[in-house]
């Protein structure tokens, strides 16, 4: 092969996916002609852009896992001060970010991160809120801190989402303690949580009144959820989570529901040995979709605009392991088609639909791309 052709990326087939070749350049990625967008580099030189949020003035807040909060405004990156102290280990860091639904009036910003506060060595997932004044966070308030701390570096979870009633949902992974945390509602980890926007526990949370339960828990039996999104039509909260070797899942989050990990799974250990022979059990929810092999999903967004033709209603999910953006065509809660987008560009950490109706994709080691519809 001619050396000049080494910049071409060969696309491969997964399940029903049809792939074409894409050529890298610094500011633009050439997408196959049948794809209705070009990918333009919007913010460059980011290492692990974990989360992003759009401000009303058109600027964007971006979390870098390393512990920096960046305001991108008028084409410039501004480092925000007075961010929380982050426990740096493994998958931990400065993680997701979300604006309050009534941000125009109350100015609250919500952030998830790994924190060493509390009992024990190491760290665990924390949720805080703050306001942005100039180039600094103010009014910092810790809303929830999981515990006890652990020096394990995996499975912090940490996605944040609001529902139509103003409740705040967030995910915390099982922190590598699969046989202890996910099935025990008296312990943090392996759960989806629901709180009021000021950190109070809703009286109608499913485990309020249960002995010793963590009453912020909304659902349990999760492994490491790194996707959390509100369905644009039903208002239901959807999540996706990492399986081990295979068995990544998409679930619809229900009050008090048990999603089975590690008692049921479509995955196996990384070594190839079995975790369990059970894929279903009474009283445990089945995923609406699962990936085998694992794509290592991160970030999640529904397309709600008409900017991309008949893609409206599709679900977008980033892949860390295979380094692409996946489009899932939905029929209600059923996945009827999978399509690979932006192949081989890098590990897709987050994906969001902006207030302009365009899709923004955060890619490790590169930055944030804007998917510009073709005319």
| pLDDT bracket for residue 310 (50, 70, 90) | very high
Taking all residues of the chain, what is their mean pLDDT, rounded to a whole number?
92
Closest CA to 330 of 192, 225, 234: 234
Q: Is the pLDDT of residue 108 over 50?
A: yes
Encode 42-56: b = buried (16+ Cβ within 10 Å), e = exposed: bbeebebbbbbbbbe
219-262 tens-digit pLDDT: 999 999 999 999 999 999 999 999 999 999 999 999 999 999 99
311-359 tens-digit pLDDT: 999 999 999 999 999 999 999 999 999 999 999 899 999 999 999 999 9
Fold observed for domain 3-373: Neuraminidase (2.120.10)
Other beta carbons within 10 Å of 34: 8
Annotated catalytic residues are 155
pLDDT at 179: 97
18-65 tens-digit pLDDT: 333 333 333 444 455 578 899 999 999 999 999 999 999 999 999 999
- Provide mean pLDDT across the span 296-306: 98
Q: Which residue carries 């499913």 as its tokens?
A: 206
Q: Is the pLDDT of residue 74 over 60?
A: yes
pLDDT at 32: 53
pTM of the model: 0.91
The sign of the dihedral angle between the CA atoms of 213, 215, 220, 225 is negative
pLDDT at 7: 34
Task: Domain ranges for the chain, please list them.
Answer: 3-373
Helix (H) or strand (E) holding 129: strand 124-133
Helix (H) or strand (E) holding 105: helix 103-106
């Amino acid at each position: 092969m001619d050396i000049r052709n080494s910049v071409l990326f060969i696309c491969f087939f997964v399940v029903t996916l049809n792939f074409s070749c894409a050529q890298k350049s610094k500011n633009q990625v050439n997408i196959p002609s049948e794809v209705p967008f070009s990918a333009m580099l919007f913010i460059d030189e980011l290492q692990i852009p974990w989360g992003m949020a759009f401000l009303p003035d058109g600027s964007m807040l971006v979390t870098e896992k390393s512990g920096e909060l960046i305001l991108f405004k008028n084409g410039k990156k501004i480092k925000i001060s007075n961010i929380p102290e982050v426990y740096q280990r493994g998958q931990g860091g400065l993680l997701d970010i979300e604006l309050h639904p009534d941000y125009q009036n109350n100015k609250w910003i919500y952030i998830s991160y790994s924190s060493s506060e509390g009992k024990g060595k190491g760290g665990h997932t924390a949720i805080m809120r703050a306001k942005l004044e100039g180039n600094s966070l103010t009014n910092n308030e810790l809303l929830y801190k999981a515990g006890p701390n652990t020096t394990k570096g995996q499975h912090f979870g940490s996605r944040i989402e609001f529902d139509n009633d103003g409740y705040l949902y967030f995910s915390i992974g099982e922190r590598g303690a699969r046989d202890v945390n996910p099935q025990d509602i008296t312990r943090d980890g392996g759960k989806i949580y629901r709180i009021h926007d000021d950190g109070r526990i809703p009286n109608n949370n499913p485990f309020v009144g249960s002995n010793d339960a963590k009453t912020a828990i909304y659902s349990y039996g999760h492994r490491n959820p790194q996707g959390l999104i509100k369905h644009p039509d039903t208002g239901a909260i959807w999540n996706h989570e990492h399986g081990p070797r295979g068995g990544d899942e998409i679930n619809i989050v229900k009050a008090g529901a048990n999603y089975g990990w590690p008692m049921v799974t479509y995955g196996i250990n990384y070594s190839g040995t079995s975790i369990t022979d059970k894929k279903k059990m009474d009283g445990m929810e089945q995923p609406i979709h699962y990936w085998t092999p694992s794509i290592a999903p991160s970030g999640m967004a529904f397309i709600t605009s008409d900017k991309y033709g008949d893609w409206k209603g599709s679900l977008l999910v980033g892949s860390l392991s295979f380094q692409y953006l996946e489009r899932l065509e939905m029929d209600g809660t059923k996945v009827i088609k999978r399509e690979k987008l932006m192949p081989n560009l890098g590990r897709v950490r987050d994906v969001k639909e902006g207030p302009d109706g365009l899709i923004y994709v955060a890619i490790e080691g590169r930055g944030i791309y804007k998917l510009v519809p073709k005319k």
